């Protein structure tokens, strides 16, 4: 049975789509991976069109509505890992993506609005009895906001991952070429951050 990682957050601008693409592409050399785009903006479809022929192969699919459940079943039967980029709101498609997840990954920038928005996704994951975790994403290089938000999340008991992703231009540059940062700049700090996140996720899923 495939591992399904659903990247979900009802607030836009948290880096959800970029994170989904990077996780899928980083896993592609190691596992048989599918990337399912059910975000109505379909940014991953554009990313996939740009993906070089020399890049590690992954299966890409973008569907919505009543087709989501059937497509997810098809992909999980034929792959080791399925990464889902879900809509930036709690709707039927998002519920289906969370219901089918082994783990719901919720990216949040270190700001109160992102943390507040994540609460709805956490509630939905709990209602569907699915494991969920927050990851601090697009973290600024300096300032006390990261430490403040981390402390608040830990005090509140929310499931926060140890790995964090910095606000690094390497992610945007790689995305513009249809790549993950681990492919475009494998020795960069950004690539190391992504690998640390991936390692923690796989350990958490078991």
Strand ranges in 23-62 using DSSP code E only, listed in sequence order: 33-37, 59-62
| Residue 141 pLDDT class (50, 70, 90 cuts) | confident
Q: How far is CA 13 from CA 43, 56, 159, in A?
A: 13, 27, 21
CA 121 to CA 198: how far, in whole Å? 21
Do 187 and 18 touch, CB atoms closer than 8 A?
A: no
Tell me the two tokens of residue 33. 């991976």
Do 26 and 195 touch, CB atoms closer than 8 A?
A: yes
pLDDT digits (tens, 9 = 90+) for 38-95: 999 999 999 999 999 999 999 999 998 889 999 999 999 999 999 999 988 877 888 9
Q: Which domains does the chain have, with CATH numbers?
A: 3-205 (3.40.50.300)
Q: Helix 92-99 to helix 112-127 angle, to the nearest 10 degrees?
A: 70
Q: Interior CA angle at 96 toward 88 and 110, to 5°? A: 35
Can you give the pTM of this predicted structure?
0.94
Greater confidence (24 vs 204) lies with: 24
């Amino acid at each position: 049975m495939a591992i399904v990682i659903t990247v979900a957050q009802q607030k836009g601008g948290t880096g959800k789509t970029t994170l989904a693409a990077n996780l899928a592409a980083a896993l592609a050399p190691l596992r048989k991976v599918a990337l399912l785009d059910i975000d109505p903006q379909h940014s991953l479809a554009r990313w996939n069109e740009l993906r070089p022929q020399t890049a590690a192969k992954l299966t890409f699919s973008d569907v919505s509505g009543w087709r989501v459940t059937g497509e997810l079943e098809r992909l999980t039967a034929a792959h080791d890992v399925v990464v889902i980029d879900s809509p930036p709101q709690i709707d039927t498609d998002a519920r289906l993506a969370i219901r089918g997840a082994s783990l719901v990954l919720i990216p949040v920038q270190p700001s109160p609005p992102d943390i507040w928005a994540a609460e709805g996704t956490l509630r939905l994951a709990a209602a569907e009895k699915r494991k969920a975790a927050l990851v601090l994403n697009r973290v600024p290089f300096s300032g006390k906001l990261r430490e403040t938000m981390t402390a608040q999340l830990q005090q509140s008991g929310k499931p926060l991952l140890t790995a964090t992703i910095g606000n690094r231009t390497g992610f945007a540059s790689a995305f513009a070429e249809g790549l993950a940062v681990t492919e475009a700049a494998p020795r960069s700090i950004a690539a190391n951050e992504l690998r640390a996140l991936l390692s923690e996720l796989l350990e958490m899923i078991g």
